[in-house]
């Protein structure tokens, strides 16, 4: 009798727990939780204490992990800033929106380019706006600004569902800091100079032919060639002296506040803006996307954190970023919002191994994982930190080893805020709440596709019946020097051409047994080899059938600098202003 009594009450207790947990989630969802998203720039998974780093101090990110759920297989949808962030904002692989490049320019190069996140893409910010949320983004954008004029703002955050923007429409570059070697693509500069010379020769030939009567061609055609040549020449010339003024700017909504930006006060301004946004919107609900400029080169770090870490300037920059995370979390606590806020922390892709200054490493550490930023298939370029915290709704101190993606943030927060996913397009992300709460034990993802630009480099298959995690590499970069683990001397590894190796049959790894991708399997060493390759091959065919042609936003024309698109505070080309008071803000 006592045993039956115990069993009966145990069942009732478990049922009650499930009921109240579900009720709690429902109540939290009904009250529309605030959403706070932290996204670091170029941060390696091995740079964070809760992911195994014992020498860089990240107590605030570590606290998020202790108080929430840590994902160990959180995957970026691209290994570079622009496409990865496009996927994060839309829940779709970048190739679907045209944000995947078929050329060597895989990220936006200028504020005055015409490419960017298309206006017909629906970001999570727009859907939350429709649910009554106040939406803001603080920090890096790097999804474009204008399309046809310097003030159309077609790619601007305010045209993609954000009510408020303060930050950098572009991304940090060495060019943003004086006395740093220029970072804008040297090959692009050489190509611009070559095109300038070719067009100049063509103009000279046409003009000479017209004057001598050897060619019957109108002066209008000659003038058009001259105009195009001038654009290429100005682009080439400006890439040497004007990058700081034309790319390194801060904006508040549509207005430029600093041109060029003053890096010594940027961190304090970003922190001030994030805290102010929380205070202004504490009655909620709000979405705040804190898109850090840290830890991208040139790693400008304020004096308070310089020479404080054991890993030079890079470690100093990581620790400053962590401190900023802590201050923003403190603002949540101060306003009593912690328990009604879903907080998320991640990086847009892996650490930049090739970022060096002599013997000093200026990029991140990707732990045990091979490769880094720019490498479409290797784990080091795409496996990133992923942490969720929501006290009372998500369990604390839980680690999940299932495959998840930055793509998943989109459907997860749309679900939580009562929105409806777009029905007119493919959404590649999956709602993570059942997995985060422990209501299911396996991720919804069966296959994840790993692109380098518009080229499919690798695919992972989560074989759920056995728990195996297979990954097939069809293309891998050729490291330089051989065996170095990166493409030193090239900036980042290429996606195609002579700098890659095509594998037929593909390289196959079982990541649960070989996370470092050190020992490729073969038909001789793995009995399931042929079955796995065939299964992944069929998945690729099905995936490609879901793709539709779209305009390429990162074509050479779209990434090229265009003077009529240049955001300018002043009279072009004399673009300069400082509307932040002219004083340095202390941290």
Summarised one tens digit per residue, pLDDT across range 165-204 is 999 999 999 889 887 777 666 666 777 778 888 988 888 8
Distance CA 474, CA 175 (A): 36
With beta carbons less than 8 A apart as the criterion, state whether 352 and 313 touch: no
Claim to verify: residue 86 and residue 228 sit in the same structural domain: no
Q: What is the DSSP letter of 145?
A: -
Q: The tokens of 478 are what?
A: 């050729």
Does residue 127 or residue 193 have the better pLDDT? 127
Claim to verify: residue 229 and residue 263 sit in the same structural domain: no
Claim to verify: residue 218 and residue 159 sit in the same structural domain: no
Question: For the chain, what is the domain count?
Answer: 2
Q: How far is CA 452 from the centre of its chain?
A: 14
Claim to verify: residue 213 and residue 278 sit in the same structural domain: no
Nearest-5° angle of CA 256, CA 257, CA 261?
100
Q: Is position 552 within any domain?
A: yes
Per-residue pLDDT tens digits for 305-318: 999 999 999 999 99
Residue 197's domain comprises: 186-241
First to last CA, the chain: 67
Kindly tell me if the per-residue pLDDT of 27 is higher than 50. Answer: no
Nearest to 137 by CA among 287, 293, 342, 334: 287
Q: Using pLDDT thresholds of 50, 70 and 90, give the confidence band for residue 456.
A: very high
Active-site hit among 74, 142, 296, 349:
142
Claim to verify: residue 281 and residue 388 sit in the same structural domain: yes
Q: Is position 8 within any domain?
A: no
Q: Is position 579 within any domain?
A: no
How do beta strands 404-405 and 164-168 pair?
unpaired
Q: What CATH number is given to the structural domain containing 488?
A: 3.40.720.10
With beta carbons less than 8 A apart as the criterion, state whether 79 and 452 touch: yes
Claim to verify: residue 204 and residue 323 sit in the same structural domain: no
Q: Is position 27 within any domain?
A: no
| Residue 356 phi, psi (nearest 5) | -140, 155
- Per-position DSSP letters for 230-245, written without gaps between them: HHHHHHHHHHHHTHHH
Active site residue 569: no
With beta carbons less than 8 A apart as the criterion, state whether 489 and 186 touch: no
Claim to verify: residue 197 and residue 333 sit in the same structural domain: no
Cβ contacts of residue 391 below 8 Å, gap of 6+? 67, 338, 339
Claim to verify: residue 389 and residue 432 sit in the same structural domain: yes
Claim to verify: residue 114 and residue 213 sit in the same structural domain: no
Consecutive H or E run containing 60: helix 59-66
Torsion, CA 369, CA 371, CA 374, CA 375, rounded to 10:
-90
The mean pLDDT value for 493-497 works out to 96
Position 15 scores a pLDDT of 36
Per-residue pLDDT tens digits for 396-432: 999 999 999 999 999 999 999 999 999 999 999 999 9
Claim to verify: residue 195 and residue 96 sit in the same structural domain: no
Distance CA 67, CA 387 (A): 10
Distance CA 313, CA 301 (A): 8
- Residue 435 gets the label, from left (phi > 0), alpha (psi -120 to 50) or beta, of alpha
Nearest-5° angle of CA 160, CA 161, CA 166?
85
Kindly tell me if the per-residue pLDDT of 13 is higher than 90. Answer: no
With beta carbons less than 8 A apart as the criterion, state whether 585 and 265 touch: yes
Claim to verify: residue 271 and residue 362 sit in the same structural domain: yes
Distance CA 329, CA 64 (A): 9
Q: Is position 140 within any domain?
A: yes
Active-site hit among 50, 81, 487, 575:
81
Q: Is position 12 within any domain?
A: no
Position 60 scores a pLDDT of 98
How many CB atoms within 10 Å of residue 444?
A: 18
Position 273 scores a pLDDT of 98
Q: Is position 379 within any domain?
A: yes
Nearest to 326 by CA among 64, 43, 116: 64
Active site residue 81: yes
- Name residue, tokens 């159309």: 152
Q: Is position 284 within any domain?
A: yes
Claim to verify: residue 427 and residue 376 sit in the same structural domain: yes
Average pLDDT across the chain, whole number = 91
Lowest mean pLDDT, pick from 135-149, 334-348, 557-571: 557-571
Per-residue pLDDT tens digits for 221-276: 888 888 888 887 877 766 666 788 899 999 999 999 999 999 999 999 999 999 99
The mean pLDDT value for 435-441 works out to 97
């Amino acid at each position: 009798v006592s045993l039956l009594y115990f069993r009966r009450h145990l069942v009732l207790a478990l049922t009650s727990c499930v009921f109240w947990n579900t009720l709690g989630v429902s109540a939290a969802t009904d009250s529309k939780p605030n959403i706070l998203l932290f996204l670091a720039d170029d941060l390696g998974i091995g740079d964070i204490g809760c992911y195994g780093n014992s020498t860089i101090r990240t107590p605030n990110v570590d606290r998020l992990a202790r108080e929430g759920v840590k994902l160990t297989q959180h995957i970026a949808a691209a290994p570079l800033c622009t496409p990865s962030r496009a996927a994060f904002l839309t829940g779709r692989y970048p190739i679907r929106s045209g944000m995947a490049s078929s050329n060597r320019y895989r990220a936006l190069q200028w504020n005055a380019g015409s490419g960017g996140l298309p206006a017909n893409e629906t970001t999570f910010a727009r859907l939350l706006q429709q649910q009554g949320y106040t939406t803001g983004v603080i920090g890096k954008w790097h999804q474009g600004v204008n399309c046809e004029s310097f003030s159309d703002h077609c790619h601007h955050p305010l045209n993609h569902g954000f009510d408020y923007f303060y930050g950098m429409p572009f991304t940090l570059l060495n060019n943003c800091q004086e006395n740093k070697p220029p970072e804008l693509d040297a090959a692009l500069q050489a190509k611009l100079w070559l095109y300038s010379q070719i067009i100049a020769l063509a103009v000279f030939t046409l003009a000479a032919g017209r004057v001598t009567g050897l060619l019957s061609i109108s002066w209008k055609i000659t003038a058009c060639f001259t105009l195009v040549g001038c654009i290429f020449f100005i682009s080439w010339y400006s890439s040497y002296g004007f990058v700081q003024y034309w790319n390194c700017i801060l904006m508040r909504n549509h207005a430029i506040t600093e041109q060029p930006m003053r890096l010594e006060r940027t961190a304090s301004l970003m922190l001030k803006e994030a805290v102010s946004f929380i205070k202004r919107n504490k009655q909620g609900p709000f979405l705040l996307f804190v898109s850090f400029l840290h830890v991208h080169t040139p790693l400008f770090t304020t004096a308070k954190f310089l020479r404080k870490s054991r890993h030079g300037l890079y470690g100093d920059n990581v620790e400053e970023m962590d401190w900023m995370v802590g201050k923003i979390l403190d603002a949540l606590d101060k306003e009593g919002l912690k328990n009604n806020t879903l907080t998320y922390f991640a990086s847009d892709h892996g650490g930049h191994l090739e970022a060096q200054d002599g013997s000093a490493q200026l990029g991140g550490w990707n732990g045990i994982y091979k490769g880094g930023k720019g490498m479409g298939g290797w784990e080091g370029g795409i496996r990133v930190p992923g942490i969720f915290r929501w006290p009372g709704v998500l369990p604390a101190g839980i680690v999940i080893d299932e495959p998840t993606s930055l793509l998943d943030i989109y459907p997860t927060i749309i679900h939580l805020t009562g929105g409806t996913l777009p029905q007119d397009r493919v959404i590649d992300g999956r709602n993570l709440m059942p997995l985060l709460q422990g209501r299911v034990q396996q991720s919804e993802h069966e296959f994840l596709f790993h692109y380098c630009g518009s080229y499919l480099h690798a695919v992972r298959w989560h074989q759920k019946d056995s728990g195996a995690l297979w990954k097939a590499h069809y293309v891998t970069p050729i490291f330089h020097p051989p065996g170095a683990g990166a493409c030193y001397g090239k900036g980042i590894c290429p996606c195609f051409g002579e700098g890659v190796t095509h594998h037929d049959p593909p390289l196959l790894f079982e990541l649960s047994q070989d996370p470092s991708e050190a020992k490729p399997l073969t038909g001789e060493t793995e009995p399931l080899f042929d079955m796995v390759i065939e299964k992944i091959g069929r998945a690729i065919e099905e995936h490609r059938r879901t793709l539709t042609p779209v305009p390429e936003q990162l074509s050479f024309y779209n990434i090229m600098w265009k003077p009529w698109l240049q955001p300018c505070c002043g009279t072009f080309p004399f673009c300069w202003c400082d509307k932040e008071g002219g004083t340095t803000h202390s941290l």
